Structure 1
Amino acid sequence: MMVKTDWLLVVLLGLVLLILEGAEGRKERILGGSPYELAYSAINCRKHSASIKDFGGIGDGTTLNTEAFQKAVNQLSKYASDGGAQLVIPAGHWLTGSFNLTSHFTLFLHKDAVLLASQEINQWPLIDPLPSYGHGRDAPGGRYISLIFGTNLTDVIITGENGTIDGQGALWWQQFHLNKLKYTRPYLIELMHSNKIQISNLTLLNSPSWNIHPVYSSNIIINGITILAPVTSPNTDGIDPDSCTNIRLEDNYIVSGDDCVAVKSGWDEYGIKYGRPTSHLIIKRLTCISPYSAAIALGSEMSGGIQDVRIQDITAIQTESGIRIKTGVGQGGYVKDIYVKGMKLHTMKWVFWMTGNYGSHADTHWDPKALPEIKGINYRDVVAENVSMAGQLDGISGDPFTGICMSNVTIGLAKKSKKNPWACTNIGGISSSVQPPPCKLLADQGPKKSGMCDFPTESLPIDSIEMQRCSYRLNM
């Protein structure tokens, strides 16, 4: 039976990859037959363009190019007020340590370009913990800077023809499991305090930890990204919007060892004090595989608040849960006005999972009186197969999760499913046309109310951002 299940998963993976390869906009094509005649969609085109080779870069997979990358960015930054600049990474294997980006700048990876993250620890400078966290995620101290990093930037694009960024994370995972790290592992891409960000049409492999982490930023588009890491790799979250606003995640495919998308806004007393929520977030057409985590998680670091998240057309295969809310006493903050419409799920433990006893804390100074507010959680048009348990919904005693709505939900239970498909404590809400019938705390409104759960019809500001068609002929 296990062999049959594994074979089915391989077939499903293959079908998903074929569909994604053929999707419009998934992978930009080269025009005119020339390997250096490029065309792609972007929030802005650039007046100036150069190759990493112009700055001494060598793509042999062994030469370290950190200085070449930083020299290129520094020199191209002078064009910020003159139409901006693009740095093209040609075919090759480009070994590098961390480097910083600049404003009005595009980093473009050729389809056969591979950025290889250096495995020399001294190539990763240390930076302070995030102010809304006050503490490293892996260890109390600071953290290693991300491979591609930027702060206080405007108009930044990281894109390509599905070129690859390989974090070579196995060394970091081993050090983490052996408890040998004094600082938090690096991410592949982190942009802080920035505005107008596009990350698109790339493959990200084997990140040391989280893959894409926009934080304290706004007006963000992340689309056409493939993220791959072993499903047993520690904390290899796919995309983690953190204390950000006006974000659009579309057409992304993620296989990881943690949540495919994790929405965050700071940790315990530090997140409460910093007070910057994540809001106005759109997640569309996500395909996720993560046997030990969620397709989409809200929290656990949610102490600055999460509001107005619109989730639509999600496919999850062999994933621990569909949508998970993670919080607990001491976290404060809120998760409210969450809208989910159109989920297709196959093989998982829980379709719906809300955890009010998530016990991960930054330190011992968290406030036991800081209770989270969870309300206005809407799910509609969900189909799931081979599920162990329909829902585990656990609020907090004296602080129930309220305003939960489920409608038009059909869940096919696995042969070895739990005897009771629902478990509910300290929650309240309504339901309609949900099978198997949910717990009594989700009061049945009858089949005529099958479309009752809210999903906003008005657009968000991020929807008004129009993409331009950019084309370049480069002599390299």
Structure 2
Amino acid sequence: MDLPHKPTKTQITAVRISAVILLVLVSLASVDGKKPCPFSSYLEFSAISCRKHTAVLTDFGGVGDGVTSNTNAFREAIEHLSTLAIDGGSQLIVPPGKWLTGSFNLTSHFTLFVHKDAQILASQDESEWPLVEVLPSYGRGRDAPGGRFSSLIFGTNLTDVVITGNNGTIDGQGSYWWDKFHKNEFNVTRPYMIEIMYSDQIQISNLTLVNSPSWFVHPIYSRNVIIQGLTILAPIDSPNTDGIDPDSCINTRIEDCFIVSGDDCIAVKSGWDQYGIQFGMPTEDLLIRRLTCISPDSAGIALGSEMSGGIRNVRIENVTAINTQSAVRIKTAIGRGGYVKDIFVRQMFLSTMKYVFWMTGNYKSHPDEKFDPKALPEIKNINYRDVVAENVTYSARLDGISGDPFTDICISNVKIGLTAKPKKLQWNCTNVEGYSSDVVPLPCAPLAKEVVSSDGCPFPEDQLPIEDVKLMTCITKNHAT
């Protein structure tokens, strides 16, 4: 198998331009046999569903001056459009302008479309952020024991929801929240940017998301989720600004995203200690591909640390991580219970890394003192193949749990180039067992057994159900002024 290579910016741009032109020409030529619409008058976008009805935020009193609050405009617009769900669904267009708003809730059979020249600005007025209950699989707020602020864009018990645009911007204006967090002035958890709960058929795509107060995109207790084409940007020292956190979700596809973060670019989760064990909803059947990540103090992709409901059948491929602490990291601890198993990773290009491989069995953050010290996690069947890395300090740090080793770890076809001053002990391994082949530098003794297959570590050949979901081409009027 060919090793991954890093495409140039020119190549990426050329491919994107060609794809957009091809999609526009093909779809415009086939819409009801009509003549093509002027490019300036209509916009095309891809979605799981197209809508019969359209409204614009200004129809409900929205003012895009960056100063006037549009919280009521968003809420009234969505409440009105919710009545059209049974009649072909509806979409709300956020036109060019700067639209200041607090938290608002979505509805089913609905599309929120953010124009490329629009910016949704998150309010820094706490009165515009209602409080919601703690998540049952966490037992408390993630930042503080109390409740939590509702997310900027929030939804629960929904079906068929699209949040998209032609690269419009949502700005969380996070500095206000980060400053108060650092000063320990919150007794509840900061808002996330987008959170969808207990929902089915969700799409979040083609947006630029910047400066979230905390996590950016958090689908939880949901299924059939597609996240694609997101640019996510936060200062590398901003607290807990995870990019995308699929949490107790089934059948999820994350692809073609660029993330610069103060925390993990993607963090896969499923509940926290005894609360996650009791709730018992795993994250499974997850595909992550074509990710580019920059996060000097965190992972490109983390599995955990909140993984008490289980994480299973995760496929990760075509990852580029630059100036990032580690590539795909497993984080767990005594008391977590649950499992991380059947993880398959291939085709990673890594540059300027502290660790290539990192597994942590003593990630000791707990919601409270009621966790069960006998609840041991199962970490099993973790597969990495086809990795090229350069400017690396440590090849691996693999720390299992005494009496509960991490097993069936497989690493093959890996070439690691070291920094000018690498650490002498390149592979630090305790309480792990596994296999390896064609790995440079040579791995530690617990991984010295040869991989049985001549093709190296396995990667499944079948497709996940979410890969079969095809997007429709939708057309809406261009409301640029």
TM above 0.5, yes or no, is yes
Q: Report the counterpart of residue 452 of structure 1 in structure 2.
A: 456
Residue 445 of structure 1: CA displacement?
1.4
Residue 420 of structure 1: CA displacement?
1.1
Evaluate the alpha carbon distance shift between residue 344 and residue 353 of structure 1 in structure 2; reply closer, same or farther with a 3 A threshold: same
Q: Report the counterpart of residue 167 of structure 2 in structure 1.
A: 162
Could you tell me how far apart the structure 2 residues matched to 1:26 and 1:138 are? 45
Letter in 2 for 1:265: S
Could you tell me how far apart the structure 1 residues matched to 2:55 and 2:23 are? 19
Identity %: 62
Q: Map Cα deviations across residues 95-120 of structure 1 (whole Å, 9 max, x no partner).
A: 00000000000000111000000000
RMSD, aligned α-carbons:
2.1
Gaps in structure 2 of 5+ consecutive residues: 1-6, 29-35
Q: Report the counterpart of residue 466 of structure 1 in structure 2.
A: 470
Evaluate the alpha carbon distance shift between residue 410 and residue 22 of structure 1 in structure 2; reply closer, same or farther with a 3 A threshold: farther
Could you tell me how far apart the structure 1 residues matched to 2:288 and 2:128 are? 34
Contact 2:251 2:285 in 1 (8 A): yes
Contact 2:300 2:324 in 1 (8 A): yes
The question of 1:103 aligning with 2:108 is answered yes
Could you tell me how far apart the structure 1 residues matched to 2:68 and 2:117 are? 17
Superposition map of 1:159-198 within 5 A = 159-198=164-203
Task: Determine which of 227, 234, 248 is the counterpart of 2:232.
Answer: 227
Could you tell me how far apart the structure 2 residues matched to 1:90 and 1:242 are? 31
Q: Map Cα deviations across residues 439-464 of structure 1 (whole Å, 9 max, x no partner).
A: 01002417x95522111111111011
Letter in 1 for 2:401: I
Residue 28 of structure 1: CA displacement?
9.1
Q: Report the counterpart of residue 296 of structure 2 in structure 1.
A: 291
Q: Map Cα deviations across residues 56-79 of structure 1 (whole Å, 9 max, x no partner).
A: 101010010000000000000111
Contact 1:377 1:404 in 2 (8 A): yes
Gaps in structure 1 of 5+ consecutive residues: 1-11
Could you tell me how far apart the structure 2 residues matched to 1:68 and 1:230 are? 30
**TM-score normalised according to structure 2 size:** 0.93
Contact 2:95 2:479 in 1 (8 A): no
Residue 25 of structure 1: CA displacement?
5.8
Could you tell me how far apart the structure 1 residues matched to 2:445 and 2:211 are? 44
Deviation larger for 463-472 or 69-78: 463-472
Q: Report the counterpart of residue 396 of structure 2 in structure 1.
A: 391
Q: Map Cα deviations across residues 399-440 of structure 1 (whole Å, 9 max, x no partner).
A: 000000000000001111100110000000000000000001
Task: Determine which of 367, 381, 384 is the counterpart of 1:379.
Answer: 384
**TM-score normalised according to structure 1 size:** 0.94
Q: Report the counterpart of residue 152 of structure 2 in structure 1.
A: 147
Letter in 2 for 1:451: D
Residue 282 of structure 1: CA displacement?
0.1
Contact 1:27 1:162 in 2 (8 A): no
Could you tell me how far apart the structure 1 residues matched to 2:253 and 2:355 are? 26
Could you tell me how far apart the structure 2 residues matched to 1:140 and 1:182 are? 7
Could you tell me how far apart the structure 1 residues matched to 2:182 and 2:22 are? 36
Task: Determine which of 54, 72, 75 is the counterpart of 2:77.
Answer: 72
Evaluate the alpha carbon distance shift between residue 18 and residue 178 of structure 1 in structure 2; reply closer, same or farther with a 3 A threshold: farther
Task: Determine which of 434, 439, 442 is the counterpart of 2:444.
Answer: 439
Residue 386 of structure 1: CA displacement?
0.3
Contact 1:432 1:449 in 2 (8 A): no
Task: Determine which of 343, 355, 363 is the counterpart of 2:360.
Answer: 355
